[in-house]
Amino acid sequence: MKKISLFVIALLVVISSTVATAGPRCNGMGMGPGWGIKPSILSALDLTEKQKEEIKVLGESHRKVVEPLKTSIFHTRAELRLLWVQTELDPAKIRKKQKEALRLEGRLQEEVMEFRLAFLEMLMPKQRSKFLSLELERRTARRWGRGGHFGQGPHPDGMPDLPGCDAR
């Protein structure tokens, strides 16, 4: 039992240090988990300078709230995995940790939703319609192989699509 526990702890340390030193996986205006806004789409909206500044401020404040949540989710999930590999399972601890992880993930999804609503409210009706059309087109292209995500061939800009990073 002691060998297994030491192995699991060592494994978690290696995983944690790898993730911590890896740094951000993308640059640009990533505005949330899985919902980044591509600069090319923003430029197609003919935003005013005021709108650009408001979007920048919104994105920065969103990241300040979301990053600690993502870190908490990562650590909670790691603790949950550790509980599952114990030779003596403690169902009460597992249930409690699972509820904590779900609560944090729910908060993260709420933050993403609030960001998206605030962003869309900043746009004029014509801009909003154009944005939604471009987003749908981009997501459809990725899904059907014209973006390097599920289909054959490289990404149009030569970079692979990274999970949760739509901000190129």
Res. 6 pLDDT band, cuts 50 70 90? low
Q: In terms of pLDDT, which residue wins out, 79 or 39?
A: 79
Give yes or no for residue 5 having a pLDDT over 60. Answer: yes
Give yes or no for residue 30 having a pLDDT over 70. Answer: no
Give yes or no for residue 88 having a pLDDT over 70. Answer: yes
**What pLDDT, in 10s, does the model give residues 107-140?**
999 999 999 999 999 999 999 999 989 888 877 8
Which residues are CB-contacts of 4 (< 8 A; sequence separation ≥ 6)? 85, 87
Alpha carbon 41 to its chain centroid, in Å, reads 19
Q: How far apart are the first and last CA of the chain?
A: 47
Distance separating alpha carbons of residues 65 and 46, to the nearest angstrom? 28
Q: At what angle do helices 49-84 and 91-122 cross, to 10 degrees?
A: 170
In the chain, what are the domains?
Answer: 29-142 (1.20.120.1490)
pTM given for the model:
0.62
